[in-house]
């Protein structure tokens, strides 16, 4: 899966301007149900690096659970789709 060539990463960066590209990509992968280890394998990063991304997102969104990150992802996506898709 290459989010760069599929055009998804630029969309994610627009949808989540407070996140780095790496964090936005990790958030997407976590939000579709992947585990930290799987995200690391797809991104060619260690699980430790993925955990650091997650901790950074916890701080940025003021949450402390991955389930809360998933909710934020899906709520923001649905809000975007509601107001921007015609």
- Determine whether 37 is exposed, middle or buried from the number of CB atoms within 10 Å of its CB (0-12, 13-18, 19+): exposed
Residue 8 inside a domain? The answer is no
Which CATH number covers residue 25? 1.10.10.10
User: Could you give the angle at which helices 66-84 and 21-31 cross, rounded to 10 degrees?
Assistant: 100
| 47-71 residue pLDDT tens | 999 999 999 999 999 999 999 999 9
Smallest Cα–Cα separation from 3: which of 69, 18, 58, 34? Answer: 34
Residue-range definition of the domain harbouring residue 76: 20-84
Residue 3 inside a domain? The answer is no
9 touches 3 (CB < 8 A) = yes
Residue 36 inside a domain? The answer is yes
| 1-45 residue pLDDT tens | 555 546 888 999 999 999 999 999 999 999 999 999 999 999 999
**Domains held by the chain: number:** 1
């Amino acid at each position: 899966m290459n989010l760069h060539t599929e055009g998804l990463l630029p969309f994610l960066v627009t949808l989540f301007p407070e996140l780095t590209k790496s964090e936005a990509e990790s958030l997407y992968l976590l939000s579709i149900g992947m585990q930290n280890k799987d995200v690391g394998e797809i991104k060619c990063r260690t699980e430790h690096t993925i955990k650091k991304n997650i901790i950074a997102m916890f701080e940025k969104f003021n949450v402390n659970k991955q389930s809360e990150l998933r909710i934020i992802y899906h709520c923001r996506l649905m809000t975007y789709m509601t107001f921007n898709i015609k």
